[in-house]
Each structure stands twice: as C-alpha cells, then as structure tokens.
C-alpha cells in the first residue's frame, strides 16, 4: 500500500498542475499552503482554517479520488474563510452550513466526495450564513420531533439535518483572535486567493463557482456606507472635515483622513425589506444603516417604508430627528413594486431612494425611475439589480 504522505503529494501535484484538465489548479494552489498533519484524537479529517488534520485509519480507507475531494473540501473551508466567519454561531450547525455551501462546488468541479457528504439542491448558490439561518430555524422548530437520520447524505430535501462524519471545522482558533489578528488572517487569505487565481489562469480555467467567490471578496472590500453617501449627495459634497475622522481608514490603515461634511441633502426615502427571508440580524443592520444615513447626511427628511408583499408601515422623520427603532411587520413574501407605487400615488417627496434588502426580489421595476435608486443587499452572492445601483452590506 502506498503511504499516505505519497498519496497527499500526488493529490497536491495533480490538483496544482491540473493534470486532468478540469480547472482544478486553483484548489491545488490553496491546498499547497496548508500542512497535512496526523492527529490521533479525531475520527476522520478536519481543519482549523490553517492546516488539515487526519485520522490515519480513516484516511487510508479513502479512494484516491475521494481523498482528493476531501482535501479540496478542507482547503475551501480556508478559501471561503469559514473559520473567520463563524462568530458566535453554533459550531456544529455552522460546520454543516459551510459543508452545504462547499460540497456542490466540489462536485460540479468533477471531484468526488465520500458517502454522506452534505448536499441539498435548495442550498445551491447560498452563502453559509443564509444556510445556517435556515438549518438553525428548522432544527429549532423540529427539536421536539424524533430524529430518524433524515437529512443525512445527498439531496434529501429535508429540513432536519444531522452532521456528517468527516470534514469538520475543528479547534477554531479564530474565535480567540483579536480584531487585529482577524484582519491580518483575512488579508493573508485574500492574498493567497488572488495568487491562486493568477496561477490558475496561467494553467487553465477557473471554475465558475470560484470566480463568483472572487466577486464576493471584491464586493466585501467596498464600504457600503461610502456608496450611500455618494448616492445621496451626488458628485459635489459640501466640504470635507477632520472633526469626524474616516473610521474605516483609521481602523484599517491607521490613517487620519477626513469625512465628507454635508450641510444637508434632500428628501430620502428608505425601503426596508421585511419579508420572512430577512433575518433579525439583517434588520438590525438596516437600523444601523438608517442611523448612519441620518447622522452623516442630515437629510431634510427620511421616509421609511417597510414592505414585504405589501406596504406594512410608513414613517417620516424630519431633519434632526433620531431614528430610534424600526417596525418590521409582515414577514411574508418579497415585493418591491408596492414601495414604488406608494411613492408615485402619494406624491412622496423623494430626491433619492435607498432600499435595504436580501435581494430575493422578482418584481423589479422595468424602467429607471425619475430619482436615483440604490439597492443595499445583504446577500453578497446576489446579482446586481436591473435598475439603479447596487452595493453590498458585509455582515459579520
């Protein structure tokens, strides 16, 4: 029997050089930076986001093709920065959510995975955070029901899931990192990803799912609040001031930079998606965004329209009034047309519209409006809206 170190090296080389010409070199470039370490106190394979750990007996039983798939699986936990995105989420459910996000990408790339890999078609294209919310809610609502193993393995379509037997995110040191250490780790991974992209392009193609991951990373680097400011005030700010330093520049680069000083913009209408697919955490981010708009821009008025399939609430705040809370009734389906119709039918004063949403929208206006429209999406994987401008709110 070929020893495991030889098999690991063979898998790395085959992936990095894309010997099967399936666009696998990207995965190999990520994998080559990770050590593969024998660990006796685990049952299968795992990663801490930096290195890969394996149980010798389990790994020896894997076919060469499954071994390659599992190594890519562990490498993509790092590539997707799952260990940095866990936060205070339940580790077991978070790991399942990450696996549901990763495994379809691996399968579509022509790689194989051991029996029991978590795959559900309804999660295809979802970010791990969204999958986590779905599983968490399903498990919570079904916690009193008997557990018969449903939801384990491929394409079950069930909403109650059990953890798979391999591939866990283990010993997540990121939960103990300081904010500075987290930023440094994220920067290191970003550089690895972009380097892998460059090398992969030289050797062949990049899987479409990986290209989408790069797009999401680039979106994450954009400060959505800066986009909101530019959207509301246009290209001609009143002035710049050092009285309130630019927070992102100071925290990220330790540079004391000015912010835009606004003596007041016009009338802003804010649409709030209160559909059932929007989580309470997203609604809290929306409220924080509203307060930032009010503080930074000093609009003459802010009209907040919450809407799921129909208009739920309309509240107008005059200049200087604090937006203390946000009512989010409804929690039904998602429609945005009622907001645009309400503005038109009621002659609402509007110089710009900002719409906070998870972008689960199917009734976008077919034409550009007479006022600028900015969509602020919490779904980093969503497409840009067909009208107006789209930016993305990175949630931690």
Report which listed range, 155-159, 166-170, 203-207, is most confident.
203-207
Phi and psi (nearest 5°) for 304?
Answer: -100, 125
- Model pTM above 0.85: no
Give the pLDDT band of residue 256 (cuts 50, 70, 90).
Answer: low
Structure tokens at 307: 């809407």
pLDDT reported for residue 71: 95
Is the confidence at residue 147, as pLDDT, over 50? no
Give the pLDDT band of residue 367 (cuts 50, 70, 90).
Answer: very high
Is the confidence at residue 131, as pLDDT, over 50? yes
Each domain of the chain, given as residue ranges in start order, spans 4-220, 224-392
48-62, 167-181, 357-371: which has the minimum mean pLDDT?
Answer: 167-181
Report which listed range, 262-266, 282-286, 306-310, is most confident.
306-310
Return all residues near 78 (Cβ < 8 A) that are at least 6 apart.
Answer: 30, 34, 47, 49, 50, 189
Give the pLDDT band of residue 355 (cuts 50, 70, 90).
Answer: very high
pLDDT reported for residue 152: 39
Is the confidence at residue 173, as pLDDT, over 70? no
pLDDT reported for residue 298: 84
pLDDT reported for residue 161: 54
Average pLDDT of the chain to the nearest whole number: 81
CATH of range 224-392; options 3.30.70, 1.20.950, 3.40.50, 1.10.1760: 3.40.50
Give the pLDDT band of residue 196 (cuts 50, 70, 90).
Answer: confident
Task: Find the mean pLDDT for residues 42-52.
Answer: 91
209 against 356, higher pLDDT = 356
108-117, 308-317, 325-334, 365-374: which has the minimum mean pLDDT?
Answer: 325-334
pLDDT reported for residue 155: 35
Give the pLDDT band of residue 149 (cuts 50, 70, 90).
Answer: very low
Is the confidence at residue 165, as pLDDT, over 80? no
Give, in order, the Cα–Cα distances in Å from 381 to each of 125, 219, 281, 322.
7, 9, 18, 32
Give the pLDDT band of residue 172 (cuts 50, 70, 90).
Answer: low
pLDDT reported for residue 340: 97
With pLDDT > 70 as the criterion, what percentage of the chain qualifies?
Answer: 78
């Amino acid at each position: 029997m070929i020893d495991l170190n030889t098999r690991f090296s063979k898998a790395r080389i085959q992936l990095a050089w894309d010997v099967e010409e399936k666009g696998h070199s990207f995965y190999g470039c990520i994998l080559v930076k990770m050590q593969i370490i024998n660990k006796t106190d685990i049952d299968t394979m795992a990663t801490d986001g930096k290195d890969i750990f394996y149980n010798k007996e389990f790994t020896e039983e894997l076919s060469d093709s499954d071994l390659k798939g599992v190594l890519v699986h562990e490498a993509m936990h790092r590539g997707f920065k799952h260990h940095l995105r866990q936060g205070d989420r339940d580790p077991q459910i978070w790991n399942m959510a990450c696996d549901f996000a990763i495994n379809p990408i691996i399968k579509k790339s022509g790689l194989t995975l051991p029996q029991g890999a978590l795959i559900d078609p309804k999660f295809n294209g979802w970010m791990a955070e969204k999958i986590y919310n779905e599983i968490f809610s399903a498990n919570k609502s079904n916690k009193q029901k008997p557990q018969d193993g449903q939801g384990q393995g491929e394409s079950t379509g069930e909403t109650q899931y059990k953890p798979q037997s391999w591939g866990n995110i283990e010993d997540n040191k990121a939960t103990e990192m300081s904010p500075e250490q987290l930023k440094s780790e994220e920067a290191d991974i970003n550089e690895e990803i972009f380097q892998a992209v460059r090398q992969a392009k030289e050797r062949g193609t990049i899987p479409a799912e990986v290209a989408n991951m790069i797009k999401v990373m680039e979106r994450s680097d954009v400060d959505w609040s800066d986009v909101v400011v530019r959207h509301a005030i246009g290209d001609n700010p009143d002035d710049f001031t050092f009285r309130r330093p630019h927070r992102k520049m100071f925290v990220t680069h330790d540079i004391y930079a000015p912010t835009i000083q606004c003596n007041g913009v016009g009338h802003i209408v804010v649409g709030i998606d209160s559909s059932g697919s929007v989580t309470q955490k997203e609604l809290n981010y929306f409220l924080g965004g509203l307060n930032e708009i009010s503080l930074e821009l000093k609009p003459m008025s802010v009209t907040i329209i919450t809407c799921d399939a129909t208009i739920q609430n309309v509240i107008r705040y005059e200049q200087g009034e604090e937006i203390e809370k946000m009512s989010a009734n409804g929690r039904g389906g998602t429609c945005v047309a009622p907001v645009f119709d309400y503005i038109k039918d009621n002659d609402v004063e509007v110089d710009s519209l900002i719409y906070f949403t998870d972008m689960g929208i199917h009734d976008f206006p077919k034409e550009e409006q007479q006022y600028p429209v900015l969509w602020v999406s919490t779904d980093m994987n969503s497409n840009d809206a067909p009208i107006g401008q789209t930016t993305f709110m990175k949630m931690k």
